[in-house]
Structure 1
Amino acid sequence: MSEKLDVIIFGASGFTGKYTVFEAVNVLQNYRWGIAGRSQTKLENVLKDMGAKAQKNLMSTPVIIADIENEGSLIAMASKCRVLVNCCGPYRFFGEQVVRACLEAGTHHVDVSGEPQYMETMQLKYNKLAQERKVYIISACGFDSIPVDLGIIFIDKNFDGVVNSVESYLQTYTKGESQGGAGIHYGTWESAVYGLAHSNELREIRRKLYSEKLPKFQPILKPRPLFFRSDIGNGICLPFPGSDRSVVMRSQRFLYEQEHKRPVQMHAYIVFKTWIAAILVALFGVTFGILTKFSFGRQLLVKYPKVFSLGFFSHEGPSEAQMESVQFSFIMRANGWPKSEKLLEASDQYADLPSKTLTVKVSGSNPGYGATCVAVLSTAVTILKENDKMPGSGGVLAPGAAFAKTSLISELEKYDRGIKFEILANK
């Protein structure tokens, strides 16, 4: 291969990887791209199957063989492209090797991790080196972090004032039916099991990562009760257990430290139509949390995901019909002060309570294997097109920090399985 490819999709024969290949037909149509993984046969089968699905012959797409256990092959793979899209998880086990290879090769890296320990460890260990090598390492580039982290960037651009806080409410539903879910592949389940099992690691990671605490900006956004009814989502709400808040906080800290912007406080919730559904999910969450704390419990969860998730997670994953039926929306309500009341310094405190609100909706379809794949590819395209609009010359960043000044939101809105950002109310 005489010339570098623009993008390589690593882990292309995995469940998320193969649908990333399918979306690449549209998102990467103006770029030179290839796929990578351990098995030539499996990779060629992905090109055949996804080509048939996209009604396009993909068999001339470059195929690169790389093994997560072979450092040399990872470096060789990374050296063949400008941006590596890493779909090989769980990232707790398989992410760092690929990050190191990209740093060695001088190649940008994006992935769809939702694992705070992995993401913040990569920032702690490699941020300085990434800056020196002029490489961007950006995780959380899929659902559900991209809608929320970029949603707050969208809010900030349209608020016409100073944002103090945002509450995010996630709803999922299937077309023509009541709220529900179509199922998720085992890989996400495994990441959740080990992530929760080792959640106590985060405190020490953050202590090392952030030597100084952020100022306590008033008024403080307090978390809601465990169960509460909200008019925003028109249902019963629970705290959302994903990585959204940790990703947003990384972006907001960066923007405060580097650009002196007042950090936005944020809490995330998920909405259910009935009390029964909310209570059952809460009971599941408690049971899941307890089991992850014990080796035997983790073994049971990993071995029998379908049993313990009541069929929602499985090794075979959802069918394409199920995936395409799922819709999602985040209703995000921001509170703050109008432009006329802006303070001189980001560290200054307001004497008055927030008097302005903005409500936005971030929505899309097929969140796990449509919107996610479009999102991660769109971040790769944005790095290729708008590197000069990204902060500094490199670093280990959250998406909001990395893409705040780019046109990523517009890029995400181009595609059928992309993500739409819209204003619902501005008061």
Structure 2
Amino acid sequence: MSEKLDVIIFGATGFTGKYTVYEAVTVLENLRWGVAGRNRSKLEEVLKDMGLKANKNLSNIPIIIADIEDEASIANMARKCRILVNCCGPYRFYGEQVVRACIEAGTHHVDVSGEPQYMETMQLKYNEQAKEKNVYVVSACGFDSIPADMGIIFIEKNFDGVVNSVETYLQCSTKGETSGGASIHYGTWESAVYGLAHANELRGIRSKLYSNKLPKFYPILKTRPTLFHSEIVNGICLPFPGSDRSVVMRSQRFLYEAENKRPVQMHAYVAFKSWVTAMLVAIIGVTFGILAKFAFGRRLLLKYPKFFSLGFISHEGPTESDMERLLFEMTMKAVGWSNSERLSEPTDQFKDPPSKTLMVKVSGSNPGYGATCVALLCTAKIILKEHEKMPSTGGVFSPGAAFAKTSLISELEKHEHGMKFEILANK
């Protein structure tokens, strides 16, 4: 292979990886792409199966052998493409060596990590090197961080004023028959277990990453009760346990420091239809949180994922029919001031309370293994085609920081498993 490929999908035999291959048939149309992993026969099998599913012959797709335990093979893979789509997690264990190899090779890197410790450590350790090499490294490029982070970018473009705060409410539902199987693959569960187990690392990472605290902006967005009813979505809500808020705040800090833009405050919630369901999820969450703190508890969580998740997690992952029936909506309420009240400096404080609201919804289907894979590939495509609209030098970014001025949102809306961004109300 004398000429570089545009894209290589690494970890293509994994659960997320194989569906990324399927979505690549349409998202990466007219680009030269290949697959990588440690087992050629399994990679050939994925290409055959996903080719049949997509009604496309993928036998001519290049295969690159790369093993996370073999540093030379990872370096060789990174040299063979312009951008690496990394589906090989948990990234806490397998991400850094791939990021390092990509930066050394001058190759861009995107992944779907939802692990704040990994993402912020990569920024701490490799941001300057990535800048020197003009390489973009972007994590959190799947569901659910893309709807939240790019949703706030969408809000600010349509707000016609200054946004003070945003609350996000995630709801999932099934169309047709009720889904009876697992909704999430074991790999996501494993990442969450280790992420929560090492959550105390974040304070130290952030103290090194950010020497100066952001100034306070008023009014401060208060955290809602642990369990509450929201009229916004007419549901019972809990704090969302994922990485959305940390990803959004990284983007907002970057835009404040790079563009002198007032940062948006944000809190994330997940909504359920009934008090019983919400309380049951809360009990699972508390149990998970306690067990993840201890080695013995982690062993139990990792050994019996179905039991501790009430069947939502499995090693086999959800069936394709279950995945296709799953729908998601992220409703976002933004509060701020109209253009007539705009201040000269972002650090100035408004004298009057917020007077303007904007309601936005980001929605789609098959969030875990359809929307995630499409979003991941779209971010890769945008880096290749619109890097001149991204921050002028490379670096380690969150999606909102990297893609705020690009056409990523319109690209996401083109695809069957993409995401729809829409305004619900503007007052």
Question: When the two structures are superposed, what TM-score results if normalisation uses the length of structure 1?
Answer: 0.99
Counterpart position of 2:386? 386
For residues 389-422 of structure 1, give each alpha carbon's deviation from its aligned partner in whole angstroms, at most 9, with x where no partner exists: 0002200000000000000000000001000000
| Secondary structure, aligned partner of 2:95 | helix
Following superposition, the deviation at residue 76 of structure 1 comes to: 0.5
Residue pair 1:174, 1:181 contacting (<8 A) in 2 also: no
Counterpart position of 2:426? 426
Counterpart position of 2:47? 47
| Secondary structure, aligned partner of 1:109 | strand
Instruction: State the AA in 2 paired with 1:89.
Output: G
Counterpart position of 1:248? 248
Q: Tell me, in whole angstroms, the C-alpha distance in 2 between the residues paired with 1:176 and 1:37.
A: 37
Counterpart position of 1:206? 206
For residues 361-401 of structure 1, give each alpha carbon's deviation from its aligned partner in whole angstroms, at most 9, with x where no partner exists: 00000000000000000000000110000002200000000
Counterpart position of 1:61? 61
Aligned residues: 427
Counterpart position of 1:417? 417
Of all paired residues, the percent bearing the same amino acid is 76
Moved over 6 A (4+): 178-181
Instruction: State the AA in 1 paired with 2:327.
Output: Q
1:274-285 alignment, distance < 5 Å: 274-285=274-285
Residue pair 2:181, 2:311 contacting (<8 A) in 1 also: no
Counterpart position of 1:338? 338
Instruction: State the AA in 1 paired with 2:128.
Output: K
Unaligned runs of 5+ in 2: none
Q: Tell me, in whole angstroms, the C-alpha distance in 1 between the residues paired with 2:396 and 2:263.
A: 19
Determine if the alignment matches structure 1 residue 23 to structure 2 residue 9: no
Instruction: State the AA in 1 paired with 2:192.
Output: A
Q: Tell me, in whole angstroms, the C-alpha distance in 1 between the residues paired with 2:202 and 2:413.
A: 34
Determine if the alignment matches structure 1 residue 404 to structure 2 residue 404: yes
| Secondary structure, aligned partner of 1:217 | coil
| Secondary structure, aligned partner of 1:354 | coil
Following superposition, the deviation at residue 180 of structure 1 comes to: 9.0
1:3-22 alignment, distance < 5 Å: 3-22=3-22
Q: Tell me, in whole angstroms, the C-alpha distance in 1 between the residues paired with 2:116 and 2:185.
A: 20
Residue pair 2:337, 2:354 contacting (<8 A) in 1 also: yes
Q: Tell me, in whole angstroms, the C-alpha distance in 2 between the residues paired with 1:346 and 1:370.
A: 38
Counterpart position of 1:356? 356
Counterpart position of 2:154? 154
Following superposition, the deviation at residue 181 of structure 1 comes to: 8.1
For residues 257-298 of structure 1, give each alpha carbon's deviation from its aligned partner in whole angstroms, at most 9, with x where no partner exists: 000000000000000100000100001111001101110110
Instruction: State the AA in 2 paired with 1:145.
Output: S
Following superposition, the deviation at residue 308 of structure 1 comes to: 1.2
Residue pair 2:181, 2:312 contacting (<8 A) in 1 also: yes
Let me know the Cα RMSD of the aligned residues.
1.0
Counterpart position of 1:299? 299
Instruction: State the AA in 1 paired with 2:400.
Output: G
Instruction: State the AA in 1 paired with 2:9.
Output: I
Following superposition, the deviation at residue 176 of structure 1 comes to: 3.1
For residues 343-366 of structure 1, give each alpha carbon's deviation from its aligned partner in whole angstroms, at most 9, with x where no partner exists: 001111111100000000000000
1:300-319 alignment, distance < 5 Å: 300-319=300-319
For residues 136-185 of structure 1, give each alpha carbon's deviation from its aligned partner in whole angstroms, at most 9, with x where no partner exists: 00000000000000000000000000000000000000003679985100
Q: Tell me, in whole angstroms, the C-alpha distance in 2 between the residues paired with 1:178 and 1:343.
A: 50
Unaligned runs of 5+ in 1: none
Following superposition, the deviation at residue 232 of structure 1 comes to: 1.1
Residue pair 2:181, 2:319 contacting (<8 A) in 1 also: no
Q: Measured at CA, do residues 145 and 180 of structure 1 come closer, stay the same or move farther in structure 2, by a change above 3 Å?
A: farther
Instruction: State the AA in 2 paired with 1:73.
Output: S
Q: Tell me, in whole angstroms, the C-alpha distance in 1 between the residues paired with 2:97 and 2:312.
A: 30
Counterpart position of 1:176? 176
